[in-house]
């Protein structure tokens, strides 16, 4: 099933009109219609808003219907990369039907994960594998190097920057699944 089809199906399951979803996401009804018909792809920010409004993790839209193996082969990971984005996510968990979500992210030097700090329910633990990370959690700013980790309640607004000269690569474990 295509991304637009999954959005439409989930919207209809929630008994929402395009107008309702537009209000919840802050994007236009016309744009949502184009996404559902496969005429355009949403940005990462728009897809996050849509996923949040439909009460599903963002990776929900990338999952196949009948995945059940506990093994995730590196060449079979679900990858989320948007046009004009400097951020790539790979789902390390087999699916989103568990209590824990694990993903690896790659952020190009000088790039940021989002414009406005994000919140989602639960807890998150990040391990920096490569590069340098600046992370804002509420009003607190921390700099993390390779091998450093940080734990926080993800209901607190948070945002990540890649501040080194090489790509920032990190692993994030989130409970409950939120991405």
pLDDT tens for the chain, residues 1 to 179: 688 999 999 999 999 999 999 999 999 999 999 999 988 888 878 888 898 899 887 777 766 655 567 888 888 888 877 667 788 888 898 877 778 889 999 999 999 988 889 888 889 999 999 999 999 999 999 999 999 999 999 999 999 999 999 999 999 999 987 66
> Crossing angle for the helix pair 29-36 and 44-53, nearest 10 degrees?
90
Are residue 138 and residue 111 in the same domain, yes or no? yes
Write the CA distances from 67 to 3, 23, 28, 60, 64, integer angstroms.
17, 33, 33, 12, 6
Are residue 10 and residue 83 in the same domain, yes or no? no
Are residue 92 and residue 163 in the same domain, yes or no? yes
3-class DSSP assignment, residue 125: strand
Q: 157 with 119: CB under 8 angstroms?
A: yes
**Which residues span the domain enclosing 149?**
74-175
What sections of the chain are H helices per DSSP? 3-13, 18-25, 29-36, 44-53
Are residue 94 and residue 141 in the same domain, yes or no? yes
């Amino acid at each position: 099933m295509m991304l637009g089809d999954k959005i439409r199906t989930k919207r209809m399951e929630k008994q929402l009109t395009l107008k309702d979803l537009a209000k919840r996401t802050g994007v236009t009804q016309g744009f949502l219609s184009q996404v559902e018909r496969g005429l355009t792809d949403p940005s990462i920010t728009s897809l996050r808003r849509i996923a949040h409004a439909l009460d599903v993790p963002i990776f929900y839209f990338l999952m196949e219907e009948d995945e059940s193996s506990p093994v995730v082969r590196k060449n079979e990971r679900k990858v989320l990369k948007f046009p004009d984005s400097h951020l790539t996510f790979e789902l390390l968990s087999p699916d989103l039907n568990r209590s824990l979500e694990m993903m690896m992210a790659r952020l190009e030097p000088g790039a940021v994960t989002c414009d406005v700090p994000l919140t989602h329910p639960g807890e998150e633990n990040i391990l920096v594998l490569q590069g340098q990370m600046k992370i804002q959690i509420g009003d607190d700013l921390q700099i993390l190097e390779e091998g450093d980790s940080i734990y926080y309640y993800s209901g607190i607004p948070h945002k990540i920057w890649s501040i080194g000269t090489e790509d920032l690569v990190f692993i994030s474990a989130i409970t409950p699944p939120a991405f």
